[in-house]
Amino acid sequence: MFKVPENETHLTALAESLPTSVPFIGPEAQERSTGIPFKARLGANESVFGPSPKAVRAMRMAVKDAWMYGDPENYDLRIALAKHHIVDPSEIVVGAGIDGLLDSLVRLTVTNGTPVVTSLGAYPTFNYHVTGCGGITHAVKYTADFEDPKLLIAKAREVGAKLIYISNPNNPMGTWHSGATIQQMIESIPRNCLLVLDEAYIELAPNGTASKMDTHDARVIRLRTFSKGYGMAGARVGYAIGHKALISGFNRVRNHFGVSLISQAGALEALADQDWLLDVHDKVESARQRLYQIAEDNKLKAISSATNFVAIDCGQDGNFTNKVLNALIKMGIFVRMPLVEPQDRCVRISCGTPKNMALVAKALPKALASASGQVLL
């Protein structure tokens, strides 16, 4: 019997060229390898405070309807989002998280050789999708732990970029620009270039961090999510807001039936419960203060954060931070760290419950001592 040889994978030349590494390893894989479940899950900036009880109830109720496909137009959710943001429903597209939306957006705008600009060490899933479509990623450095609008714009001009990616507030450092600064960035964007403004953490940021939403401005697309402040990471719901000409383009490539019916029902109720979101904001602020204090107690500097995580500067290089990180993981605390210099001097810890934070307070001095070679864990 004829069989195609084992090395015949049918892949395109582009697909063959793609790295086999993935943007993130899940904590479950680490748990499987150690055989020990984490005591605190503080590495993926999930919201330990969970979704609104109303969203929880809506999802439980919706389970009985899971035999039906979800509405491919995500109509009810888009209408509610449009009302919430005072835009037209045609200016909103709902997708399976920001990751799913980035996938579609990059498919729509990037092809072989298309230059795009991002920051070194910013969200790797953006780069993943760009590379997956054959685009060329140019990365500028952070300036003092901030993504730098001026450097991004200058690089975009230099390389003729089609897209500029920026997150505000920033991941993985937690820093943020004012909405006014972002608006200035939008005003200076080169012609034929689109600003991809990832606002995953915006609900947790101080007032004034969001720039004024003008959906007549085709130079920017905003990405939002129910994964962070709304506490529904596992449900996979995000949305993009932008000019209707671009937003309608998503219908040409997106997976129309891709958002779970249960998740749509949950997101609708989560959005309606803004009181819960405010409460989460307060809890996150308390946890941020606690993390700042923990850093200080250990004579370390914490980076001020507008997100549900804090990057703590371990005061040495990435090699040292990596030891701190591994020690924390060994003690049952799932955390992550930035991947590039000089941000990799920091360990990134998500905001958790008081109990979670107490575990961190107890473990961090040991992890630092272990990384310094003073004690063996």
In the window 111-150, what residues touch its own copies (CB under 8 A)?
Answer: 111, 114, 132
Distance of closest approach, residue 232 Cβ to its own copies, in angstroms: 5
Where does the chain have alpha helices with state H? 13-17, 27-34, 53-62, 75-85, 97-109, 124-132, 149-159, 179-187, 244-249, 261-272, 274-297, 318-330, 354-371
In the window 147-176, what residues touch its own copies (CB under 8 A)?
Answer: 162-163
Nearest to 249 by CA among 194, 208, 168, 197: 194
Distance of closest approach, residue 371 Cβ to its own copies, in angstroms: 27
- Candidates 1-9, 83-91, 303-311, 361-369; binding stretch for its own copies (CB under 8 A): 1-9
CA dist 111 to 22, 135, 162, Å?
20, 6, 10
**Closer residue to its own copies (CB): 29 or 278:** 29
- Left, alpha or beta for 253 (phi > 0: left; psi -120 to 50: alpha)? alpha
In the window 284-323, what residues touch its own copies (CB under 8 A)?
Answer: none
Distance of closest approach, residue 36 Cβ to its own copies, in angstroms: 16
**Closer residue to its own copies (CB): 13 or 86:** 13
- Candidates 148-156, 227-235, 315-323, 362-370; binding stretch for its own copies (CB under 8 A): 227-235
2 contacts: CB under 8 Å, gap ≥ 6: none
339 contacts its own copies (rule: CB under 8 A): no
180 contacts its own copies (rule: CB under 8 A): no
Nearest to 166 by CA among 207, 230, 108, 209: 209
Question: How many beta carbons lie within 10 A of that of residue 326, not counting itself?
Answer: 16
CB 329 within 8 A of CB 321: no
- Candidates 65-73, 173-181, 291-299, 364-372; binding stretch for its own copies (CB under 8 A): 65-73
CB hemisphere CA count around 175 (13 angstroms)? 16
In the window 342-361, what residues touch its own copies (CB under 8 A)?
Answer: none
273 contacts its own copies (rule: CB under 8 A): no
34 contacts its own copies (rule: CB under 8 A): no
Kindly report whether the peptide bond that precedes residue 27 is cis, defined as omega within 30 degrees of 0: no
Give CA–CA dist 319/219, Å, rounded.
40
35 contacts its own copies (rule: CB under 8 A): no
* Helix (H/G/I), strand (E/B), else coil: 31: helix
Distance of closest approach, residue 94 Cβ to its own copies, in angstroms: 13
Q: Which of 77, 92, 96, 200 binds its own copies (CB under 8 A)?
A: 96
Distance of closest approach, residue 326 Cβ to its own copies, in angstroms: 21
- Candidates 70-78, 301-309, 310-318, 367-375; binding stretch for its own copies (CB under 8 A): 70-78
CB 195 within 8 A of CB 219: yes
* Helix (H/G/I), strand (E/B), else coil: 36: coil
In the window 44-63, what residues touch its own copies (CB under 8 A)?
Answer: 44, 46-51, 56, 59-60, 62-63
Give CA–CA dist 314/86, Å, rounded.
43
**Closer residue to its own copies (CB): 41 or 323:** 41
Q: Which of 78, 177, 222, 236 binds its own copies (CB under 8 A)?
A: 236
3 contacts its own copies (rule: CB under 8 A): yes
